[in-house]
A = this chain, B = another copy of it.
Amino acid sequence: MTHKRLWIPGPVEVHPDVLQACAVPMITHRGKEYQKIHSGVKGKLRQLFGTEKGHVYLFTSSSTGAMEGALRNLCGRRALSCTCGNFSERWHDIALENGKEADRYGVEWGQPNRPEEIDRLLSTGKYDCLTLVSNETSTGLFNPLREISDVMKKYPDVSFAVDAVSSLAGVPINPVELGIDYLLAGTQKAFGLPPGLAVVWASDRALEKSAKVPGRGHYFDLHQFRKMDEKNETPETPVISLIHALDVQMTRMLAEGLDNRWKRHREMATTCQEWANSRFKMFPAAGCWSTTVSCIENTRKDVTVKQLYEKLLERNAVISEGYGKLKERTFRIAHMADTTVAELRELLGWIDEILKK
């Protein structure tokens, strides 16, 4: 079957070298060779996080597993779920499904969660954990993470859990500077790997607190990871081939240089945004457009989202229709991982050709 080039916000297109790294012969996860890979990956992830502090854990799961882990480890009393789209809403559901007390601070899809409202809600003293999606993939929105993190610093007893599923490795996120306690990401987005592996950074404070939270379970318990981390191993048999591929991809990433990587991602984002606003309209509120995925509102009468999707599919390019209730109203183009500005321009050129017809 002809390969279709992915422009969807995960899984994204994976570089051939990284794919080949997934085909590595098996090794034991209880031996020096694995420990070396694990240690190498951790070290490179620390460069990405920009800090030697805290703990870096590899979860053999989708990002959703790491989202569940955040609540099981850090919600001892009551969580405040900041929601602004599908994935942040799911995080709230996950809290309730895990028997946690949780309230939702929700905004309309396309709007950001507001620091001042978070401040007001936390000042009630009801909460010991806050969940925030930095980059809401369903609406292409980047929340005001820095401003919210300034608010969070006023509440050191409230654990700050941040979903960076589709932003980490596409934009710089330093969890120490931002006072984050639990930062999670999936590897099938801006990391440019196949799905099946999640990366978690946890603060010392998160480890201390979670030690006192009952019912953490086993599989996502940070303390299970902590116990094996000294040996550079995971508590359970990990997804070795993806960890090996992550090592290869992190080496590629650092060879590009992180500053170059951030610059390339910013350039792709502005290219897409400028193009989108002259043909359509960016969907999220101004100032909150994601650097890794553009959610574009179809303001035109001469083409439907479905037609755009199908015409691009004829060229073996897969964009994403809008998520859920936005399906017909918006479409999404991911510009992250190994994608270049030139490739993006080519895709946008194809859409222009479709629009002319």
Contact = CB atoms under 8 A, between A and B. Distances in A.
Nearest to A235: B64
Interface stretch (A8-16, A48-56, A122-130, A287-295): A8-16
- Report copies per complex: 2
Contact of A33 (B1, B62, B72, B217): B1
A238 B97 contact: no
Tell me what chain A mostly uses at the interface: helix, strand, loop, or mixed: loop
A19 interface: yes
A322 interface: no
Contact of A11 (B65, B197, B240): B240
A28 interface: yes
Interface in A202-228: 214-221
A25 B318 CA distance: 13
A186 B237 CA distance: 10
Interface stretch (A38-46, A147-155, A188-196): A188-196
Contacts of A27: 4, 6, 11
A25 B61 CA distance: 20
Given A29-B11, A194-B240, A195-B237, A217 B97 contact: yes
Contacts of A196: 60, 196-197, 238-242
Given A6-B28, A240-B11, A61 B61 contact: yes
B13 A26 contact: yes
Nearest to A237: B195
A226 to B, nearest CB: 14
A217 B98 contact: yes
A285 interface: no
Contacts of A216: 97
B240 A195 contact: yes
Interface of A: 1, 3-4, 6, 8, 10-14, 19-20, 22-29, 31, 33, 60-65, 68, 72, 93-94, 97-99, 186, 188, 194-197, 214-221, 235-242, 318
7 contacts: A6-B26, A6-B27, A12-B26, A97-B218, A97-B221, A196-B242, A217-B217
